[in-house]
Homo-oligomer: A and B are copies of this chain.
Amino acid sequence: MGKGLAKSNGGALSRSALRRQREREERYQTILNAAESLFVKEGYHQTSINKIADLAEVSVGTVYFYFKNKEDLLIQLLDGISYLFRSRVGAEFENADSTLEGFMNAGHMFFNEFCHKYPEKVAIMYRESIGQSPLVDEHRRKLHDNFIKDISGALRRMSENMGFSFPSSMSVEVIAVSIMGIYQSIASHYLVSRGKFQNLDQIGKDAVAYLVGGIKDMCGI
């Protein structure tokens, strides 16, 4: 997205200006990628700006040209992940309306696609971005809350269409938070801290079965 470099660009750009802009966005991504892999490999606090600059093959000053500070690096990373996560996983809840299928598709999407494709982003989401600073917390919470809204929406639509109601006014949110917790716990337990990729398909299936089971039981299907 190149958030930090957004330039209102109403008119056309010359060829060289276009090239420079493309290079700028590449640099931005290169640095962000370097930060991502180092944060995951060594931990946020153990990663110095110097190391990031080295890996990205730029100078320290260049890192600070593209990012406000170290915290900003983590936040941009998190925001990018947030966008990706919701457009891949969260979107599944909307596609398959008013049935349990959405929950199964989303789970499949997360465990069998997202975790395989972006294990580092999962690690950022569920480990490196926790408890680092108030501002990071805020952005993390935003990601969290949005995803919870995705799930809650699906649950509400289901209950309306299928004509059943949840035990308490908070049930919907609580279930959504619980499902998010299942995602996190499974991913952290098997992927992040053990790097166990092999059975993730079966594990994902079991987890989805369990989390869907809870819904089924609650709505009396």
Cross-chain contact B130 with A210 (CB below 8 angstroms): no
Is A116 in contact with chain B by the CB < 8 A criterion?
A: no
A171: which B residues are within 8 A, CB to CB?
Answer: 206, 209-210
Cross-chain contact A175 with B141 (CB below 8 angstroms): no
Cross-chain contact B177 with A185 (CB below 8 angstroms): yes
Binds B, one of A9-17, A26-34, A88-96, A131-139: A131-139
Interface size class, chain A: 35 or more
A144: which B residues are within 8 A, CB to CB?
Answer: 189
A199: which B residues are within 8 A, CB to CB?
Answer: 170
Question: Which one of B43, B132, B189 lies within 8 Å of A177 (CB-CB)?
Answer: B189
Q: How many copies does the complex hold?
A: 4
Binds B, one of A52-60, A79-87, A156-164, A213-221: A213-221
Closest to A140 in B: B193
Closest to A124 in B: B131
Cross-chain contact A193 with B43 (CB below 8 angstroms): no
What's the minimum C-beta distance from A108 to chain B, rounded to whole angstroms?
15
Most buried by B among A168, A185, A186, A211: A185
Q: A177-B207, A180-B185, A181-B185 are in contact. List 12 more A-B contacts (CB 8 A).
A: A45-B45, A128-B131, A144-B189, A167-B209, A168-B202, A170-B203, A177-B190, A178-B207, A181-B186, A184-B185, A213-B217, A217-B217
